[in-house]
Amino acid sequence: MIFSIITFAAVLSILVLVHELGHFLAARRAGVWVEEFGFGIPPRIYGKKIGETLYSVNLLPFGGFVRLHGETGEARVTQEKRAFINKSKSVRSVIILAGVVMNLVLAIVAFSSVYTLSGIPRDSKNVRVLEVSTGSPADVSGIKVGDVIKQIDGNMVNSTDDFVSKSKSLSGKEINLTIQREGVSELLTYSVLLRENPPQGEGAMGVVITTMETYFPPIWQRPFYGIYYGFKDAIYWGKVVIISAFTILKSLVGGSLPEGIAGPVGIYAITTEVAKSGFLSLVNWVGIISVNLAILNVLPIPALDGGRLFFILLEKLFGRKVAPKVEAYMQMASMAALILFLLAITFKEVKILSKVGLSGYLEFVSKGGM
């Protein structure tokens, strides 16, 4: 339990600190006074001023924050030229977006690191068996995990689609399966009786197959391959998050809690489970959450970075800034709504966990529950 909590706190802190580091660096570059860069959530337990910025360690070790001079309005501004609120619209936009950019960079670095260290995927055109269902025709006939399926009744098999279509067309019949097994020089032939009505989630033969394999290019090439596939993964997960965001919005407008979404308890549970699979799995999970954080943060919700960008857009459209009090009230209302939403999700998660336990909850979420 202690290890799980530490892992979860570390993951969350990395994600938030990287995000805040983006704001910090962009603000410093733009000449905005960064009053404080804090690790954790206040109250403060330690602080040291270096230059003009106070670097603090706070009581709750989750994430962090950056406090910019003049960020919340003109009331406490003492250095007008170095106040965030007095900077141009483009400069303020860059500072706000810098956190999102840093999260995307973190995601790409995480995905790239995993590919660089664990190997690069490629299509081998070899249909390889990944799993064999117990009691299935393949299991009864002696097919093993790792076998490469070369032919079905003398016809070459070069893709998973080819394998599935041939198996379906021959369902209910006995076929000859030619395979190549690791460590055996000659091809082997097995007789397999295909099922006409397989169990739900299984095919006629009862195997899980793939043509993808992992290969390791020369060491000097791996980082370049890793970055390429890291970008692809970031784009893929970005699309998934955008689609999910629209689904969530649709559910909320309809007056119901969205399905298939994990809140704080869910993310903790998934992080705990992922950590059991090893360090690289955890790094990959950090990349996935970082993409989520980046995309969700640009939504036009006042409590998020996207909401602040929305106020800048209104300023550009109407030629004047939104009244600080109005913006502050909208920020507070939005934050309250977000907290209520998270509490509702958390309540639902705790209720499910109390009934089915961690493993049952993870299975529930993986099937699109919640």
Mean of pLDDT values over 158-180: 89
C-alpha to C-alpha distances, 90 to 26, 95, 98, 148, 340, nearest whole angstrom: 12, 9, 12, 57, 33
The answer to whether residue 146 is domain-embedded is yes
Answer yes or no: do 301 and 238 share one domain: yes
For residue 194, what is the domain's CATH number? Answer: 2.30.42.10
pLDDT tens track for 223-268: 999 999 999 999 999 998 888 878 777 766 666 655 656 677 778 8
Domain end among 215, 235, 251: 215
Mean of pLDDT values over 73-92: 85
Query: Of all residues in the chain, what percent carry a pLDDT higher than 70?
Result: 91
Answer yes or no: do 312 and 347 share one domain: yes
- Alpha-carbon gap, residue 174 to 82, rounded angstroms: 79
Predicted pLDDT at 369: 46
- Alpha-carbon gap, residue 182 to 180, rounded angstroms: 7
Is the separation of the CB atoms in 158 and 127 below 8 Å?
yes
Predicted pLDDT at 145: 93
Answer yes or no: do 103 and 138 share one domain: no
- Residue pointed to by tokens 């020369």: 218
Answer yes or no: do 103 and 239 share one domain: yes
Answer yes or no: do 167 and 205 share one domain: yes
Is the separation of the CB atoms in 57 and 47 below 8 Å?
yes
Answer yes or no: do 195 and 93 share one domain: no
Q: Which of 31, 46, 24, 22 is CA-nearest to residue 80?
A: 31
Q: What are the residues whose beta carbons fall under 8 Å from the beta carbon of 257, sequence distance 6 or more?
A: 251, 344, 345, 348, 370
Q: Which domain holds residue 280?
A: 2-118+226-366
Q: Tell me the whole-structure pTM to 2 decimals.
A: 0.81
Angle at 127 between CA 125 and CA 131, to 5 degrees: 145
Quote the tokens at residue 350.
């705790």
Answer yes or no: do 206 and 244 share one domain: no
Predicted pLDDT at 358: 62
Answer yes or no: do 255 and 324 share one domain: yes
The answer to whether residue 220 is domain-embedded is no
pLDDT tens track for 305-339: 888 898 889 888 888 877 777 777 887 887 787 77
The DSSP secondary structure of 213-231, one letter per residue, reads EEE---TTTHHHHHHHHHH
Answer yes or no: do 335 and 292 share one domain: yes
* Burial per residue of 322-349, b for 16 or more beta-carbon CB atoms within 10 angstroms, e otherwise: eeeeebeebbeeeeeeeeebeeebeebb
Mean of pLDDT values over 195-212: 88
The DSSP secondary structure of 299-329, one letter per residue, reads SS-TTSHHHHHHHHHHHHHHSSPPPHHHHHH
Q: Is 211 strand, coil or helix?
A: strand
25 pLDDT above the threshold of 70: yes
Instruction: Name 361's bridge partners.
Output: none
Is the separation of the CB atoms in 285 and 274 below 8 Å?
yes
Q: Indicate the number of domains in the chain.
A: 2
- Alpha-carbon gap, residue 309 to 300, rounded angstroms: 7
Is the separation of the CB atoms in 237 and 107 below 8 Å?
yes
Peptide bond preceding 324 in cis form (omega within 30 of 0): no
Answer yes or no: do 298 and 342 share one domain: yes
The answer to whether residue 221 is domain-embedded is no
288 pLDDT above the threshold of 70: yes
Is the separation of the CB atoms in 178 and 169 below 8 Å?
no
Q: Which of 268, 260, 263 is CA-nearest to residue 369?
A: 260
